[in-house]
Amino acid sequence: MSCRTVILISGSGSNLQAFIDTLHPQQADIVAVISNRADAYGLERAAQAGIPTQVLDHRDFPDRASYDLALAALIDAHTPELVILAGFMRILTAGFVARYHGRLLNIHPSLLPKYTGLHTHRRALEAGDQEHGATVHFVTEELDGGPAIMQSHVPILADDTPESLAERVRATEHRLYPLAAMLYISGRLRLMDGHACLDGNAIAPCGLRLDQFETDMRGHRND
Ligand code: NHR
Ligand code: GAR
């Protein structure tokens, strides 16, 4: 049975594109793409793929609570099982997060718990880090603080700029995010007692490693 999925975006939607390109319709049914910005390029990607789109501009609401109530009403009309934040740039209230407890995922462009919030690539460069990456996590009330599911790692190069580093990280996000979502869709991944669990076992605090997981998958293939 296909997993009804709503994807929230604010911008270019390259992660949305990765979902469209990677997930089979029998696995995930992307029933709607919702953006808080009317000019998000991801809306065109969705339309191109025949996915219904909606825009809900946060500037039309007096506060976060009223925006989040309207957003939840839009989402719930599609009766999704899974809700995906893919470059969605609005902080969500505790009430919203509680409503989708255990079925709301985010991708954050850093090796959490390092660099929560914004401008992660610049901050990793300024700190002189040797590696950087992205984390898929369950969303909780605590900003970028929910249980980690899986991380991708990239080296930081001597001549990197925030832009070049972001591009290298984003290329890994497009493998990382659909794979993590598939673990949820297949029923192997769950949030249990505040822990991200794979096959019923708690995942380490930093999450699974994408490179390790991909190596293991190759080893288990018999073609
Ligand atoms: N909401 C909750 N409750 N918990 C999380 O973990 C969330 C969340 C909402 C979004 C994505 C997150 C990221 O991956 C995310 C995780 C936006 C901001 C932010 O400061 C911070 C983190 C994230 C997304 N947004 C500004 C705001 O005032 C607006 C910035 C803008 O519009 O450019 O909401 O990084
Ligand atoms: C991605 O790199 C994602 O990790 C990051 O924004 C980009 C969205 O790209 N998310 C955040 O910074 C959330 N605050 P996309 O629109 O092309 O998928």
- Dump pLDDT digits (tens) for 118-167: 999 999 999 999 999 999 999 999 999 999 999 999 999 999 999 999 99
Ordered by where they begin, the domains of the chain are 3-222 (3.40.50.170)
Which tens digit of pLDDT belongs to each residue from 88-109? 999 999 999 999 999 999 999 9
16 touches ligand 1 (CB under 6 Å): no
- Tell me what pLDDT residue 166 has: 98
214 confidence band (pLDDT: 50, 70, 90): very high
Residue 43 CA, ligand 2 centroid: distance in Å: 15
Catalytic (active-site) positions: 108
Residue-wise over 59-81: b if at least 16 C-beta within 10 A, else e?
A: eeeeebeebbeebbeebeebebb
The CB of 98 under 6 Å from ligand 1? The reply is no
Query: How far apart (Å, rounded) are the C-alpha atoms in residues 114 and 125?
Result: 12
Q: Could you tell me the pLDDT band of residue 223, with boundaries at 50, 70 and 90?
A: low
CB contact at 8 A, 82 and 107:
no
How far, in Å, CA of 149 to CA of 103, rounded? 12
Atom of ligand 1 nearest to the CA of 64: 34
pTM for this model (two decimals): 0.97
Percentage of the chain modeled with pLDDT above 70? 99
Which numbered ligand comes closest to the C-alpha of 138? 1
Q: Which residue has the higher pLDDT, 77 or 219?
A: 77
CB neighbourhood size of 173 (10 A): 24
With CA atoms as reference, report the closest residue to 94 among 55, 139, 63, 136.
Answer: 139
> Residue 221 — φ and ψ, nearest 5°?
-80, 140
Q: Which CA distances in Å does 128 have to 121, 131, 132, 139?
A: 11, 9, 10, 28
pLDDT above 90 covers what percent of the chain?
Answer: 96
The per-residue pLDDT for range 11-66, each reduced to its tens digit, is: 999 999 999 999 998 999 999 999 999 999 999 999 999 999 999 999 999 999 99
Distance 223 CA to ligand 2 centre (A): 34
Instruction: Kindly list the protein residues whose Cβ atom lies closer than 6 A to any atom of ligand 2.
Output: 9, 11-15, 42, 86-87, 89, 107-109, 134, 170, 173
Ligand 1 centre to CA of 160 (Å) is 25
